[in-house]
Structure 1
């Protein structure tokens, strides 16, 4: 096995392990907050998280731009160019940290307006600043994280973060169980993020010492290109944040913070599934980026079609599993009293599907550097979602807020992003049209078929939930293999006509 293939295998395996462990850690953490402090604190934590996502979205955008800038220098072994790019992004991160700290601090007044809970104002204020500080430290370590990831060594970051997160969880639960204090809980999170940052920074200093020895910056043309990519990706991330991180704020504002806490359980499961799938794509993102830098378009397009076929099955199985299992899971995890109407998992499953089915096109869009072609559309999608959430939420309540996300997604980015990637390949959009129509219909049909035995099978314990989950997985796999063979042939034939 070559070095690149070995790193890819490590990235995928350890990346998935890290994601599973992170989900388990967050499960225990949320359960501890719910048990020892109550559902209002769960909602408060969700609102804090959404506000901080809004203020720190630029960190993620800069990280993606940094990876794109590094693919070619890393692939060609240009150490001086790597160091110049790293130092330039380091300067950007410092400026951004100060800006986010200032804006985030001023936003405490908005937090106090939105939160409707029986919690003292001083406690809300103090815990918000602790939460903001921990998020700033966490996002600051992305400078090291994205460089290591661009070098196809994401597994290093995953091992470090898994170890520190696991150890920190013990202290977090102990603090909640003995002190019933949310401030001490968040202090543990802050210390955990500081430790993770110093470990990754030490690894960079030891393994990539040439990055810190170079003080020169990229040339004027390169800096201009970097700033352009950063701007486009920040706009893109801003739109994503307005879609993914405002629902709980709107729910807390229009309904109650407790309702936002109940809804956060569904989003936790949904985001967990998305992060599992994203972990796989993140693990191969650098590989795709290096392929974009070195391989021809025909080779890239062939790999793209294969990955798209796999994504249909993976996305379909996760959406079906979420829809039929999430109510039982939350009931066993948090208690039946925090369950919401069955319409909620239905619309969350739809949003999960709309996001997951575009994973392949999103991966190639990022790796090919097509930032400027989609950023403003995503921002428009986010603004539309925010406006529709308040309008529909005021009329239809919770379901109106959730429906706004699906509507804004379908009428903006859902069809444009694949079209843009196919234009990059110089191919017709026909295979993607077939892909979207057939995969959506196939997923819905299999969801209904799988639901026939699952609806008659209640899960009153974790054991029976596991049995139900295994049955759901096996039935979904069988159906996708049965029906998916036809779909794969259709996509392959359409793709071969264009190669």
Structure 2
């Protein structure tokens, strides 16, 4: 705790970004080999099983967020006994969770054939699913130790080791596909890599916090009760989040076809990689926010939020414009025209991405302040609405309808409710100070897309050389415009200082 919040945040962002860039490059290589050898059918199964296992992650009952949140205060106060007691408690909890996930996962095996929708059946489908399940169960074994490192603003250490494990995992998986074309071995390597990563992080935590080893500290009944109360609220958030983001591939598979899950997953790979880079910034400062909340007043909290929102708006505008203008060209050159989605689907994907991007500062404060307690039911309503709209709109608009349903569900529920609550309770300010910059940013983003689309309407991008030229032009025009718009804002000046 002797290191400053600023120093730890900078480290987290630096190492986290490096980790994600390396992971992105490796994933592109891995995905290219995967598609060329196994085809879109297996790619669809990969995406579908990932979403099914995301649904199973509900079994952790929201303990992940509650766990990190509970570490903030004792870490800030150097209360080692309390930290040790929390770790011991969470170790027992996650042993139970891992068992529950495994048992629930097994009960889904007989229903896999009804969820997978392919023209030709794939052999060993159940075996592939069981390896996915094993990978998820293993990921729970030492998660409580990774959480204390994150809460202590030292996530950069986790990033360093994850980068190494991901490198070797991707190399071995690619070699396996090239030499044997065996999907079973490919998945087996994933399970081994997850296990090794967890062992490394566990030993790192033991080294950083030696007082955790063989600790006999215990939480009293009131402390456990408080954690469970937070957990109940987060559990509703957990269900809502999974139903909002984790059901799309299942619905796409059942309503449209599993092969479309594979085609859609190529776009999601790009968006996930970019989101991961963006998330590094916010996850790196969330622990710092948690520390600030313990020690600072509402005015200071609001000042930090303003700078975060400015960063968010700059990033959201820049990335959204670049994604819309470049992603179809990337897919075309990388995989071919058969893997390109039409304009309506692309708009639905990009709009959904934009909404998720601009609300990041709100989410960071939600995690750090415990806002999930007050907003749990609005999230649940959003999730239920999303499923209803996905089925309805998917029937008439297909893939685009399912994705648009997520955007509409967000907009009419927590997208406006959470900022109102945060500003009233924690900042003691009016929420219009949040919404006005947001509307302006959306208009700038749309204007830039229209102008650039007209500019490049008569150009065909069919080589990597032309694609890189387009990247430079699009990025420069967008970046210069965004800087010109935001250079005089108080948030932008605060970031520079």
Q: Distance in 2 between matches of 1:71 and 1:149?
A: 10
Q: 1:357 to 1:192 in 2, by over 3 A?
A: same
SS of the residue aligned with 2:373?
coil
CA positional deviation for 1:121? 5.7
TM-score (norm 2): 0.94
Cα deviation code 1:287-336 (max 9, x no counterpart): 11111111111111111111111211101111111111110111122222
What is the count of residue pairs matched by the alignment?
Answer: 491
Q: 1:85 to 1:471 in 2, by over 3 A?
A: same
TM-score (norm 1): 0.94
Q: Distance in 2 between matches of 1:365 and 1:204?
A: 26
- Does the aligned pair in 2 maintain the 1:93–1:140 contact within 8 Å? yes
CA positional deviation for 1:489? 5.9
Q: How does 1:454-473 map to 2 (within 5 A)?
A: 454-473=456-475
Cα deviation code 1:44-90 (max 9, x no counterpart): 00000000011114549322211111111111111000111111111
Counterpart in the other structure of 2:10: 9
Q: Distance in 1 between matches of 2:385 and 2:492?
A: 33
Cα deviation code 1:169-209 (max 9, x no counterpart): 11101111111111110000001011111111111222212
SS of the residue aligned with 1:15?
helix
- Does the aligned pair in 2 maintain the 1:243–1:405 contact within 8 Å? yes
Confirm whether residue 97 of structure 1 aligns to residue 70 of structure 2: no
Counterpart in the other structure of 1:305: 306
Cα deviation code 1:83-127 (max 9, x no counterpart): 111111112111111111111111123322110125656511000
Q: How does 1:173-322 map to 2 (within 5 A)?
A: 173-322=174-323
Q: Distance in 2 between matches of 1:11 and 1:491?
A: 21
Counterpart in the other structure of 1:484: 486
Range moving further from structure 2, 36-45 or 243-252: 243-252
Cα deviation code 1:349-405 (max 9, x no counterpart): 100111111001110111111121122222221221112111221222222212211
CA positional deviation for 1:277? 0.9
Counterpart in the other structure of 1:131: 132
Q: Distance in 1 between matches of 2:73 and 2:268?
A: 37
Counterpart in the other structure of 1:431: 433
SS of the residue aligned with 1:332?
helix
| Structure 2: 5+ residue stretches without partners | none
Q: Distance in 2 between matches of 1:126 and 1:111?
A: 11
CA positional deviation for 1:271? 2.0
Counterpart in the other structure of 1:497: none
Q: Distance in 1 between matches of 2:172 and 2:490?
A: 53
Cα deviation code 1:2-55 (max 9, x no counterpart): 544332211110011111222222222222221111100000000000000111
Range moving further from structure 2, 272-281 or 183-192: 272-281
CA positional deviation for 1:163? 0.1
Q: Distance in 1 between matches of 2:331 and 2:298?
A: 45
- Does the aligned pair in 2 maintain the 1:450–1:476 contact within 8 Å? no
Counterpart in the other structure of 1:475: 477
Q: Distance in 2 between matches of 1:260 and 1:491?
A: 40
Confirm whether residue 335 of structure 1 aligns to residue 319 of structure 2: no
Q: Distance in 1 between matches of 2:75 and 2:416?
A: 33
SS of the residue aligned with 1:116?
coil
Range moving further from structure 2, 213-222 or 94-103: 213-222
Q: Distance in 1 between matches of 2:293 and 2:245?
A: 29
Counterpart in the other structure of 1:109: 110
Confirm whether residue 371 of structure 1 aligns to residue 372 of structure 2: yes
